[in-house]
Chain A
Amino acid sequence: MLEYVPKSITNFFLEVYGLYGFTVAYFREIFKRPFEFKEMIRQFFQIGNKSLGLVSITGVIIGFVLALQSVPTMSQFGAVSLIPSMVSIAIIREIGPVIIGLICAGKIGSSIGAELGSMKVTEQIDAMEVSATNPFKYLVVTRITATTLMIPLLVIYADAVAILGGFLALSIVGDETLYFYFSKVFSALTFSDILPSTIKTFFFGFAIGLVGTYKGYNASRGTESVGVAANTSVVVGSLLIIIIDMIAVQITTIIS
């Protein structure tokens, strides 16, 4: 029976099932001792440290370009003064989380996938297991927790930087002052813009960590599978972010 189903479809469901199993195991293990705090804190730093530069540059450019692009159109309607609120809402609600999420899926997801993949291939994960340490706890739980908590921080930081980038653009083409720019930004933003988009970034972070660790932990034998693990971590991670975003937008529209 099963051989009539195309391989790609069975693989897809096996993948989903595998990720589901990993999620269940994560929630089962996270509340058990030992907590591996040392490794978790190391991961926080690693993730933040590795992505800060990239996230900063991306943030500034997004805000800068978005503001600059809007000037010609908005000036036709005499609505240049609306640009700060438009830019900040667009960034906070959608552009910031999604773009930073995708960038982190590339940067962090691939490095987790490659790291765990090479540990798997060189039998380091087996070595942990026979030295009677739970490698799932030490490697997987710490990393998923770290991405889940760090991605939202990175997104908030990137949002701030992007809004600043918007100011940069407007102060170059026009005569926007910092004070007026930010008073427009803050009067436009409401709690209902910030909260849902922040909640969704926790899910982005979870997805990035989950996929990276899953792919790395389940890398097959042979060195080429390290590359495969890194690569598929990025692909599947990015896809999940888009899907989560779509679902999140649906939910927020229904609620509000």
Chain B
Amino acid sequence: MDKENDTNIKQISKEGIVIEDKNVIEISDLKLSFGNNAVLQGIDLEVKKGETVVVLGKSGTGKSVLLKCIVRLIMSDSGKINVLGMDVLTLNDKELVKLRTKIGFIFQQAALYDSMTVRENLEFPLERHENLDEDEHNKRIEEVLESVSQKESIDKMPSELSGGMRKRIGVARTLILKPEIMLWDEPTTGLDPATSREISYLIVKMQKDFNVSSIVVTHDMSCAKIVSDRIVVLKDGKFIIEGTYEELSKSDDEFVKSFFEEV
């Protein structure tokens, strides 16, 4: 692994980050059931430009489902979702494609295309949405690999990569279209503490370097501590509390306390 780049990622702190007073995501009264299973029961959430919001919640409470609703991978039953000024639930196919190119989605298991090399994985979205000449094309691929410190993986197959490397390539693949918003589904789950920390700093780096707004779904409190500007807690299909890491760590609520106990 590239030593110099690693230390580079480790030095990142939250200082100097600008959060504008402008909402890029507005969700109100979002509801969704699968049959009898009422997963989301009235979600309200706002995310500002440049802000990172962490969503905490137990396994199976619908965190992944919430992220998928935002890009309309799953159609919600009712409510309103407004992303970058567009009403997600009523967009036509063309507008939806346009919106999706501005959103990066980091899947829980990275979801790399396993019949393609890393380079082809990165080229896949690039070829389809931007008309770059060959130099610019290659430069963009190198740039994004550089920013996740994975330049040496370029000709590998996903099956040859470790879990942490796969996550990084997954990040690189969404970065390639320069998204304004990134949705991270449990970015650190299943990784060792050191790699988890690196991924957390990577999230902050994205915020700092590219001014992206993020929603980070996680139950990893050390990740939440590093990346969050604000935390919301999901329970029984609703957000029960919201605040900064500091505020929530002093909360009396038993449920909220249970997340902080591990630390």
Contacts and interface: CB of A to CB of B under 8 A. Distances in A.
Interface of A: 34, 115, 119, 122-124, 126-133
Interface in B41-100: 68, 71, 73, 96-98, 100
B23 interface: no
Given A132-B100, A132-B129, A123 B177 contact: no
B112 A130 contact: no
B100 A123 contact: no
Interface residues on B, range: 20 to 34
A117 to B, nearest CB: 13
Given A132-B97, A132-B101, A126 B125 contact: no
Interface of B: 68, 71, 73, 96-98, 100-101, 103, 105, 107-109, 111-115, 124-125, 128-129, 173-174, 177
A122 B109 contact: yes
Contacts of A119: 113
> Could you tell me the dominant secondary structure of chain A's interface residues?
helix
A130 B113 contact: no
Contacts of A126: 68, 73, 105, 107, 111
B108 A123 contact: yes
Which 7 pairs between the two chains have the least Cβ-Cβ distance?
A127-B111, A131-B125, A132-B100, A123-B111, A132-B97, A130-B105, A123-B107
A124 B114 CA distance: 9
B113 A34 contact: no
A127 B128 contact: no
A37 B82 CA distance: 36
7 contacts: A122-B109, A127-B113, A128-B124, A130-B73, A130-B105, A131-B101, A132-B97
Contacts of A127: 105, 107, 111-113
Contacts of B115: 115
Given A126-B68, A126-B73, A132 B128 contact: yes
Contacts of A115: 115
A119 B109 CA distance: 12
Contacts of A128: 113, 124
Contacts of B108: 123
B109 A131 contact: no
B59 to A, nearest CB: 14
B73 A131 contact: no
Given A34-B128, A126-B111, A130-B105, 14 more contacts: A123-B107, A123-B108, A123-B109, A124-B114, A127-B112, A127-B113, A130-B103, A131-B100, A131-B101, A131-B177, A132-B100, A132-B101, A132-B129, A133-B128
Contact of A129 (B73, B112, B113, B129): B73
A118 B88 CA distance: 28
Contacts of B125: 131-133
A130 B107 CA distance: 10
A75 to B, nearest CB: 54
A199 B147 CA distance: 54
B39 to A, nearest CB: 14
Given A124-B113, A126-B68, A131 B107 contact: no
B71 A131 contact: no
